[in-house]
Amino acid sequence: MEPWVQRFLTSLRARRNASTHTQRAYQTDLAEFAAFWARRGGGAPAKLSRTHVRAYLAQLQTRMKGGRTPGPGLGRASVLRKVAALRSLCRWLREMGELKGDPFLNVPLPKPEKRLPRFLSGQEADVLLEKGAVGSAWTDLRDRALLELLYSAGLRRAEAAGISVPDLDFLSGTVRVFGKGSRERVVPVGDPALKALRAYLAARPRPVGTDRVEPLWINARGRRLSGDGLALLVRRSAKKAGLLKGLSPHALRHSFATELLGAGCGLRELQEMLGHKNIGTTQVYTHASLERLRETYSKSHPRSTAPKPE
């Protein structure tokens, strides 16, 4: 099975424009399945059946939090990712003619948890932007511009890391980004973010490296900042501001979406700005906004059951 896994991963990189993060996750998850397959006797992919899939799912469930396996256990999201990786492999094997039927057919799969996205309130976002990156060094200006842009445009981590200077249009107040599947979109950028970006670009040193185009975000060595490096800067800024532990760029994306929806932005417009392929993905923010509405109601309405401030 392992040679087929490697061929699939090569196909994932070449044909499907999968992100580096997805490639790493699939490689780890499918290596685990290949080891499971070897323990079950191995053989050609054509032997893979529903019996094997059910046994693999049962093993994953014993490793989940609260399962029989000692230790911290797997989270539901990790299990779902491993299942998705195996389903993608099986789909590709069918395309290659190495697998005749679908071994996942009629196999009950674990369902994802319905969790509201983590986001900052408007007040918390103000604290982050005011206290998360203070100072006049070019690195401070970079961190400030990064926070402003993430909050202003609702970008994914990989989208923000991939921005090059020509993608910014200061005249129209927009940025061009490439989302999942290399889908291109143009997103509006607010004036505070544009101002912070100008200050950062004027102060930073000249980038170095082999990029064909000039990267927007650079690290202390002058090279393009990676997605992991970008996430580290956000966490560090949140710690400076005394905010949520482990704050991620995705939390700022959720904050952006929740603020827009709460201000009356339509779902279709929000879907376009976030770069969601399906509007169902965007609809999760209606639940987040409803939670905010309930909280405001309980604090403010004279007939709510929550105690009122004196």
Long-range contacts of the stretch 159-165 (C-beta < 8 A, 24+): 159/275, 160/217, 160/230, 160/249, 161/217, 161/224, 161/225, 161/226, 161/227, 161/229, 161/230, 163/215, 163/216, 163/217, 164/211, 164/213, 164/214, 164/215, 164/216, 165/201, 165/213, 165/214, 165/215, 165/216
Active site residue 180: yes
Active site residue 285: yes
Which of these is catalytic: 156, 157, 224, 254?
156
Q: Which amino acid is at 245?
A: K
Which of these is catalytic: 157, 224, 254, 276?
276
> Can you tell me the distance from the alpha carbon of 258 to that of 270, in angstroms, rounded to the nearest whole number?
10
Active site residue 224: no
Active site residue 254: no
Active site residue 47: no
Which of these is catalytic: 82, 144, 157, 253?
253
The 3-state DSSP class for residue 173 equals coil
Active site residue 250: yes
Which of these is catalytic: 180, 198, 236, 239?
180
Which of these is catalytic: 144, 224, 250, 254?
250
> Can you tell me the distance from the alpha carbon of 121 to that of 299, in angstroms, rounded to the nearest whole number?
15
> Can you tell me the distance from the alpha carbon of 145 to that of 55, in angstroms, rounded to the nearest whole number?
49
Contact 86, 109 (CB under 8 A): no
Residues recognised as catalytic: 156, 180, 250, 253, 276, 285
